[in-house]
A and B are shown apart, each in its own frame.
Chain A
Amino acid sequence: MLKIADMEFESRLFTGTGKFSSSQVMLEAITASKSQLVTVAMKRIDLKTGLDDLLTPLRQAGVRLLPNTSGARNAKEAVFAAELAREMLGTSWIKLEIHPDPKYLMPDAIETLEAAKTLCDKGFIVMPYVHADPVLCRRLEEVGCAAVMPLASPIGSNQGLVTESFLKIIIEQARVPVVIDAGIGAPSQAARAMELGADAVLVNTAIASSASPIVMAECFKEAVQCGRRAFEAGLGRVQTGAVHTSPLTGFLNT
């Protein structure tokens, strides 16, 4: 079973709550996905329109909430957002994301490391969203992050595992769970990520923006389970060059 900090998860599919057509569809999709960890963002309340109650149905659905720091453009803002989230939701879990670039929402490695250090020192369970940078992931692990969340491709792009070579290195080296985040656009890509040995994937856009989010959520659930089982079973060899002679070890027989 997947374990992050001291929490165990049966499902290795994390989902987001953004971009759904209605909160009813969102809830049904999350339920269909069997996801147990769901991200939420934070926003200043618009007093004119009031607030739509996101939390009550999510809490009823029994999922664990993972607030994120989206909107933060530097470490200071991210730390502030994390403290807000802790106060609001009563959880010290935080998905740390800092993207000063509004166009592609690329994570800022330098600010993220700084914020991660501060937040870990303050006792947060920190899960940073980062580029698929193996050294950065090790540095984040060293300052105490509970997991790392390297991106597969730009957020919302549905491009799949563009960073696969680097994800492999991160998975090979990590001593904390690796959650592949961002850019996973199809169940087959999620399955591939799991086959590589990722501990979990986070999918939002691909489910929310599907014409049938609930069906798609179920597809991702199955793909993640399938990929994980394939990883545990051990994948077959891609090529076998049959070796008939023994040019390198023939000396052992003489």
Chain B
Amino acid sequence: MSFVAEFANIPRDKLLLDLYSCTAQDVERALVSPAGNLRSLLALLSPAAEPYIETMAQQSAALTRQRFGANLGLYLPLYLSNLCANECDYCGFSMSNKLKRKTLNERELMAEMVIIKDRGFDSILLVSGEHEAKVGIDYFKQMLPLVKKQFSHVAMEVQPMSEDHYRQLVALGLDAVMMYQETYQPDTYANHHTRGKKQDFVYRLATPDRIAAAGVDKMGLGVLLGLDDWRLDALMMGYHLDYLERRYWRTRFSISLPRLRPCTGGITPKVMLSDLGLVQMICAFRLFNQQLDISISTRESPELRDNLLPLGITQISAGSSTQPGGYQSPDSQLDQFEISDDRSVEEVIKQMQLQGFNPVFKDWEANWIAG
């Protein structure tokens, strides 16, 4: 049993119609009992909820403050490799892109980690393209112990793996896995993923089940906002989250809200997600799920990120590089996507503190378990 069976029974066409026929009354009803209620989530993601954005923001901010206090987690991505055996038209790492390919060796990895540690980070997100042959389980098993020595919380965002491989990585200290479906619309998915194993929509869709079954402490879901109708994709992610949380109740969950951005040889978004829409989505998910971690990356602009701080997000990256070896030698033109907020971590922290937030470099729960 996995989400695949459940997904087949979700009436996506009907939900799309529902999203665009929601009324103000539906939204007001949703605001009464939004927690854990997929009907309410639908209403809060609908265009009808836009006039209620301040009410949603107030509730979202209060719920977030109640659950997370003033804490805001800081993490940094560390790109291990830009090798990729897939063709995804929105991504700079696509195999056909003329791009210098690089995979960090142990020495290069150490050099990156020294810089990141030096900036104060204790939580790291290891990122790679999807190249099973050259950057697969053996490579990860070689590198993970080195990373775990330096960071108390280690997350990965790489290709989907088998339950057994996840289990092996958990034994080496892996704390979290990010597995973004990109879009929950199979046709759109097929249009954007034209070569490689990533074409297998269903295998990817069942991956979160394998991650949880393998005992990974925390898991991140996400859709690439702009590939398809972001409201429907966000709602589908809500269904997925709801399914996972009920079934794997020991697991912690996070979501990421990456908006499609220009990249080398990239595409323009089919459906634009405005700043208002992004705020709406953050608040809708906070009202739906009080304990959910919500991440915002440096894809967003400094001004917007500063304004988003109180609205429901709990994790933020700062001073990111999105290329392998990028902390040691920036500007080597290997980026996955363009960064909008290129402020240093000190500047971001200053802004956080100015707004009364407490920057946290550790993931508390995982750290506590590790003793």
Shortest CB-to-CB span from B279 to chain A, Å, is 6
- Docked CA distance A237–B30 (Å): 10
Binds A, one of B31-39, B132-140, B232-240: B31-39
Known A-B contacts A138-B249, A248-B57, A249-B57; the reply to A172 vs B276 at CB < 8 A is no
Interface string of B22-49 (1 = CB under 8 A from A): 0000001101110110000000000000
Residue B216, interface by CB 8 Å: no
Within 8 A of B (CB), among A197-235: 234-235
User: What are 17 A-B residue pairs whose CB atoms fall within 8 Å in the complex?
Assistant: A173-B249, A175-B246, A234-B32, A234-B33, A235-B32, A235-B33, A236-B32, A237-B31, A241-B58, A243-B54, A243-B58, A249-B54, A249-B57, A249-B276, A249-B311, A251-B303, A252-B275
- Docked CA distance A105–B266 (Å): 67
Q: Which residues of A contact B29 (CB under 8 A)?
A: 234
Closest 6 CB pairs of A and B: A248-B57, A237-B32, A246-B54, A251-B307, A172-B36, A249-B57
Shortest CB-to-CB span from B294 to chain A, Å, is 15
Chain B contact surface mostly: helix
Known A-B contacts A173-B249, A246-B54; the reply to A252 vs B276 at CB < 8 A is yes
How many residues of A sit at the interface, in one of the four size bands?
10 to 19
Cβ B53 vs Cβ A252 within 8 A: yes
Instruction: Give the interface of B toward A (CB within 8 A).
Output: 28-29, 31-33, 35-36, 53-55, 57-58, 61, 246-247, 249, 275-276, 279, 303, 307, 310-311
- Docked CA distance A234–B57 (Å): 23
Shortest CB-to-CB span from A46 to chain B, Å, is 47
Cβ B32 vs Cβ A252 within 8 A: no
Nearest B residue to A168 via CB reads B35
Partner of A248, one of B33, B276, B311: B311
- Docked CA distance A245–B275 (Å): 19
Shortest CB-to-CB span from B133 to chain A, Å, is 38
Cβ B246 vs Cβ A173 within 8 A: yes
Shortest CB-to-CB span from A172 to chain B, Å, is 5
- Docked CA distance A249–B31 (Å): 17
Shortest CB-to-CB span from B88 to chain A, Å, is 31
Cβ A172 vs Cβ B35 within 8 A: yes
Chain A contact surface mostly: loop
Within 8 A of B (CB), among A77-123: none
Q: Which residues of B contact A241 (CB under 8 A)?
A: 58
Shortest CB-to-CB span from B340 to chain A, Å, is 16
Q: Which residues of A contact B303 (CB under 8 A)?
A: 251
Q: Which residues of A contact B307 (CB under 8 A)?
A: 251
Q: Which residues of B contact A251 (CB under 8 A)?
A: 303, 307
Shortest CB-to-CB span from A157 to chain B, Å, is 29
- Docked CA distance A175–B279 (Å): 31
Q: Which residues of B contact A234 (CB under 8 A)?
A: 29, 32-33
Q: Which residues of A contact B311 (CB under 8 A)?
A: 248-249
- Docked CA distance A173–B33 (Å): 15
Cβ A237 vs Cβ B36 within 8 A: no
- Docked CA distance A249–B307 (Å): 8
Shortest CB-to-CB span from B47 to chain A, Å, is 15
Nearest A residue to B310 via CB reads A248
- Docked CA distance A247–B55 (Å): 10
Q: Which residues of A contact B33 (CB under 8 A)?
A: 234-235
Shortest CB-to-CB span from A145 to chain B, Å, is 15
- Docked CA distance A18–B246 (Å): 36
Nearest A residue to B57 via CB reads A248
The listed residue with most B CB atoms (<10 A of its CB), out of A173, A241, A248, A251, is: A248
Nearest A residue to B278 via CB reads A252
Shortest CB-to-CB span from A142 to chain B, Å, is 9
- Docked CA distance A234–B249 (Å): 27
- Docked CA distance A236–B28 (Å): 9
- Docked CA distance A249–B310 (Å): 10
Interface string of A160-185 (1 = CB under 8 A from B): 00000000000011010000000000
Shortest CB-to-CB span from B40 to chain A, Å, is 10
- Docked CA distance A123–B39 (Å): 35
Interface string of A14-57 (1 = CB under 8 A from B): 00000000000000000000000000000000000000000000
The listed residue with most B CB atoms (<10 A of its CB), out of A173, A175, A252, is: A252
- Docked CA distance A252–B241 (Å): 28
Q: Which residues of A contact B61 (CB under 8 A)?
A: 248
Q: Which residues of A contact B57 (CB under 8 A)?
A: 248-249
